[in-house]
Homo-oligomer: A and B are copies of this chain.
Amino acid sequence: MHLYDVQNKSVVVVDILRATSCMVTAFAHRVDSITPIADLEECKKMKSQGFITSGERNGEKVEGFDKGNSPFEYMGEDIRGKKIAFTTTNGTQAIEKAKQASELLIGAFLNLSSVAGHLKKSERSILILCAGWKGRVNLEDTLFAGALIEQLNGEALPDDDAPLAALHLYQKEKNNLLNYLSASSHVKRLSRLNIYKDIEFCLTADQYKVVPTLVNGNLILK
């Protein structure tokens, strides 16, 4: 990340398993806003200000928080019109790093075509920021990057070889994502938490049409 400049760019933050998938699901179910917070304790304190507190560390729900990191927790009436304070191991840290971007969008397979459609309308350069796992490459975020690049193909040129590698991996495996990802280190990590249903859902393209955007530190729908 330190090699890339976010200024004057549209940055798409991606944490497929499961932060950005949860965020997209929450906006599709009419949450008012999500405030991403990198620090766990700071997030916890937001409860006293009327926020729903959400988050995980190392894939597990945090004690004392209202919600964890499964998209199925963000589909009910209880979040409609509410504000959420959200912290995760990787996703909210990625948002923090990219907050100086001209535009910061939340991407997931769940809103893939809507994000692509939004980006196609802009002249700005695009940076797809894969949250990864503690800074390292993971397959699921890389595959999403490939899927988004495929949709943007012909409208954006790669600045280095990372987008090409992501695109080619995605094109190789796009009909087989769930099986393919069973080899990934993070899916193995999460399998121990019995979240197969979450993983399957997070890999489903175009369930929702929302494009969450960061405005003054809060994610909203514009």
Contact = CB atoms under 8 A, between A and B. Distances in A.
B165 A137 contact: yes
Among A159, A161, A172, A185: residue with most chain B CB under 10 A: A161
A46 interface: no
A142 interface: yes
Given A169-B169, A172-B172, A164 B135 contact: no
Interface residues of A, number: 24
A42 to B, nearest CB: 25
A208 B84 CA distance: 60
A3 B160 contact: no
Contact of A160 (B136, B161, B165, B169): B136
Interface string A143-183: 00000000000000011111011001100110000000001
A93 B139 CA distance: 28
A61 interface: no
Q: Is the interface of A mostly helix, strand, loop or mixed?
A: mixed
A21 interface: no
A159 B184 CA distance: 10
Contact of A165 (B134, B142, B158): B142
Interface string A103-126: 000000000000000000000000
Given A137-B160, A168-B169, 4 more contacts: A138-B160, A139-B161, A159-B185, A161-B186
Interface of A: 3, 133-139, 142, 158-162, 164-165, 168-169, 172-173, 183-186
30 contacts: A133-B160, A133-B161, A136-B160, A136-B161, A136-B162, A137-B160, A137-B161, A137-B165, A138-B160, A138-B161, A139-B161, A139-B164, A139-B165, A142-B161, A142-B165, A158-B185, A159-B185, A160-B185, A161-B184, A161-B185, A161-B186, A164-B183, A164-B184, A164-B185, A165-B169, A168-B169, A168-B172, A168-B173, A169-B169, A172-B172
